[in-house]
Structure 1
Amino acid sequence: MFARTVGVVCAAPLLALALVGCQATSGSEGDPTDPSSANPLRSPSGYGAVFLAVGECSSRGRASFNEVLCRSESAVARVLARYDGGSAQGPACPARTDFVLHISESRPSSDENGDGSVARGYACMRNLEEPHPGDPGGGGGPRTIVGDCVYSAGEGQVRETACDGSGERLPQYRVRSAVATRAACPPDTALYVALGGTDPVGCAVRA
């Protein structure tokens, strides 16, 4: 059998993005579509060694995500990074992550490494095929990055939307650059967006 389900997994697109308090990002990411460029707490391994380890793939069901062989016809997304613990306190996902899977702690009678448990954690996922909402301007993903478009959600908050206007809301601003401080933004900056990382300020212009 190709599929294996361990623990409880749920998707969390995390599209709401506040101007302050956004998830921190890593200063050096490499190629976000290459699993070997990530820096997870768990190292890459073959199918079956660790539940949804870096480089492994999942299917997508109505209520769950199962680990499957990447060559399986049911494979829809690949793990870019895998971390233990909660995403709020843990490392940020790679920039072009399409969605995040939160994995609850489980203690099945048998599991992949024989210790009887699957640790609580989260997996940063990228779709094997388009669409890629985590790409610049794609309108989704767990992070706001340069090239993304946003609209005002009130009370100092913004939310991502597709730059091509295909989302439910039209874009109002586009993040043109990322800098260390607001003072470093160009004069025509219309909005500052919190990005996290070493260049935490996004300089956005009107779309």
Structure 2
Amino acid sequence: MFVRRLGEEMRHRALPEALFAFTVLYGSWALAGCQAAGRPGAEAVTQQEETRAPAGPGRTGVFLGQGTCAGRGRTAFTEVDCASGQATAAVLARYYGPQSGGPRCPGETDFVLHITAVDAGTSETDSVPEGYACMRNLLPPHPGDPGMGGGPLTVVGDCVYMERHGVVKETACDGSQEHAPEYRVRSEALRRADCPAGTDLYVQVGGGTPVGCARRLGTGEEP
């Protein structure tokens, strides 16, 4: 299997070349009821071999730590100086452990990089634990912004359409994407009962306020 071969290859690499991340390349998704929309697969990307700096943890002491930047070459994301022409996205937040069950990324996150653990066998400083980085593009477009129809989170202002019974997916509020918007998330609440009167759809958004209160468009509700 690819993952197994990649793992064997990593054990024979020096740390700077072994660091890599999984970047989630899916539009924001949501839950309605109990079913989740399926996610496309994640892409495995390795640190660019032709880009040797920085090696190991960055200037924050953490590989892709908060406030650092990343750039993508032909085959990889790597940590780069934010002032360099290679920088394409900034790290808004950095967390350890798997994303499932971990802290929610900031609402303005455009995409998430999943950092695979690397054990260099020397010290904690030379190794990288499992984690994830919440990223925002340095330049537009920003798919994570409200109503843009992308990004890893569903936030207030986003629009969704019913993919199938019990499953909704995000789409652009301006109708520029393949699927027309059917509902717009107007607010977030801790419980369904806390949503305002007239709520037509409850969308799981995660984090401390796990319910998005959505209204149907086309019945007095403008996108």
- The structural deviation recorded for 1:21 is 7.1
Cα distance in structure 2, aligned partners of 1:198 and 1:79: 21
Distance 1:5-1:95 versus aligned 2 partners, 3 A rule: farther
Q: Which residue of 1 aligns with 2:163?
A: 153
The one of 190, 194, 197 aligned to 1:187? 197
Distance 1:107-1:199 versus aligned 2 partners, 3 A rule: closer
Q: Which residue of 2 aligns with 1:131?
A: 141
What is the identity, as a one-letter code, of the residue corresponding to 2:160? V
Q: Which entry has the higher C-alpha Rg, 1 or 2?
A: 2
Give the alignment's Cα RMSD to 1 decimal: 2.5
Residues 136 and 148 in structure 1, CA contact (< 8 A), matched pair in contact too = yes
Which aligned runs of 4 or more in structure 1 are off by greater than 4 angstroms? none
Q: Which residue of 1 aligns with 2:30?
A: 17
Using the size of structure 2 for normalisation, the TM-score is: 0.72
Cα distance in structure 1, aligned partners of 2:97 and 2:82: 25
1:136-170 residue CA offsets vs partner (Å, 9 max, x unmatched): 11111221111000111213111111111122221
Distance 1:79-1:6 versus aligned 2 partners, 3 A rule: farther
Residues 55 and 79 in structure 1, CA contact (< 8 A), matched pair in contact too = yes
Structure 2 residues without counterparts, runs of 5 or longer: 1-15, 36-56, 218-223
- The structural deviation recorded for 1:132 is 0.9
What is the identity, as a one-letter code, of the residue corresponding to 1:100? V
Q: How does 1:105-120 map to 2 (within 5 A)?
A: 105-108=117-120, 115-120=125-130
The one of 79, 86, 92 aligned to 1:80? 92
Higher helix share: 2
- Does 2:110 align with 1:98? yes
What is the identity, as a one-letter code, of the residue corresponding to 1:121? G
Cα distance in structure 2, aligned partners of 1:75 and 1:63: 15
Distance 1:72-1:164 versus aligned 2 partners, 3 A rule: same
SS across alignment from 2:193 = helix
SS across alignment from 1:183 = helix
Cα distance in structure 1, aligned partners of 2:181 and 2:147: 10
- The structural deviation recorded for 1:5 is 5.7
Structure 1 residues without counterparts, runs of 5 or longer: 23-44
Cα distance in structure 2, aligned partners of 1:92 and 1:119: 18
Distance 1:53-1:20 versus aligned 2 partners, 3 A rule: farther
Q: Which residue of 2 aligns with 1:167?
A: 177
What is the identity, as a one-letter code, of the residue corresponding to 2:154? T
The one of 169, 176, 186 aligned to 2:186? 176
Using the size of structure 1 for normalisation, the TM-score is: 0.77
The number of residues matched between the two structures is 180
